[in-house]
Amino acid sequence: MSTLLWGALPYIAFALLVAGLVWRHRYDKFGWTTRSSQVYESRLLNIASPAFHYGILFVLAGHLVGLFVPESWTRSLGVSEHTYHLFSLYGGTAAGVLTVLGIVLLIYRRRTNSPVFRATTVNDKLMYVVLLGAIVLGMIAKLAHTSGDGYNYRETIAPWARSLFTLRPRTELMEGVPVLYQVHAVIGMALIALVPYTRLVHMFSAPVQYLFRPYVVYRSRDPRQLGPRPPRRGWERTDA
């Protein structure tokens, strides 16, 4: 079971992610979208959507730092384990709360707005369950181990995650990990596998280039080049 969960499942999830992206881009380009329902309701969406997107960005950033920045690197920068634990605890909890709040509002909007609910598919419902489960379990796992410096996942989970890229997964590191962290990791891998088959696929087509686009300069035409402009119909001058 240890080999299956921590040695095979990560690569299965990654394979499903890549295969799904290739298939979706080749055969379902018109479905590569968020399937926005803003046309049905926008007031609540304008609150829930930014809360979810900003929250999930902070959650992802925290996971990337926690898993792929070794403990020795932060220690060399003068950041003690206690300081890192506090920052991870409060920052991660705040990001998680913001994300959950956004998801709950999005689900409430879908359930209470008839046109939006009719546009909700079984695929959407599965995506919400897995996404919400991954985030909530991560928060529960973090809050359940707050005594002292908490559980130091950077000595077990983080080295295991980095070992996956060497194709030599250190499965033994995950055997003594608390159950809540293990369940969180499994649901996280399931979420990665589901991404290309749900509306979450739009994260791979985020308009990042928009931030670096050149300025668009609008210039009015020189009136001397236009010549005399005829008056608009209905606005002709009258001498009376």
Q: What is the pLDDT of residue 224?
A: 56
Stated pTM of the model: 0.80
Topology of domain 2-211 in CATH is Fumarate Reductase Cytochrome B subunit (1.20.950)
Per-residue pLDDT band at 197 (split at 50, 70, 90): very high
Query: Are the CB atoms for 159 and 170 separated by under 8 Å?
Result: yes
- Helix pair 9-27, 179-194: axis angle to 10 deg: 20
**pLDDT for 80:** 85
* Model pLDDT for residues 133-166, shown as the tens digit of each residue: 999 999 999 888 777 667 889 999 999 999 999 9
**166-179 residue pLDDT tens:** 999 999 999 989 99
Q: 11-54 pLDDT, tens per residue?
A: 999 999 999 999 998 988 888 888 888 888 889 999 999 999 99
Q: Where are the alpha helices (DSSP H) in the chain?
A: 2-3, 9-27, 45-68, 71-76, 81-112, 114-118, 122-144, 157-163, 179-194, 223-226
Could you report the per-residue pLDDT of 44-58, keeping only the tens digit for each? 999 999 999 999 999
CA–CA distance, 7 with 13 (Å, rounded to integer)? 11
CA dist 78 and 16 (Å) reads 40
52-98 residue pLDDT tens: 999 999 999 999 999 999 888 988 888 888 888 888 889 999 999 99
Q: Predicted confidence band at 206 (pLDDT cuts at 50, 70, 90)?
A: confident
Alpha-carbon span 11 to 30, nearest angstrom: 28
